Amino acid sequence: MSADQVISSINQLHSSGEALAKKKVKKTHPDLMRSALHYFPSWEHAIKESGIE
Q: What is the pLDDT of residue 53?
A: 73
Q: What is the pLDDT of residue 46?
A: 97
The pTM score is 0.89
CB burial of residue 27 (10 Å; 0-12, 13-18, 19+): exposed
Q: What is the pLDDT of residue 27?
A: 97
What number of residues does the chain have? 53
**8 A C-beta contact, residue 9 and residue 29:** yes
Taking the C-alpha atoms of residue 49 and residue 30, their distance in angstroms, rounded to an integer, is: 19
Quick one: which of 32, 27, 26 has its CA closest to 7? 32
For the chain, the structural domain boundaries read 3-49
Give me the tens of pLDDT residue by residue for the chain, a chain 53 residues long. 999 999 999 999 999 999 999 999 999 999 999 999 999 999 999 999 999 87
Other Cβ atoms within 10 Å of 19 Cβ, number: 11
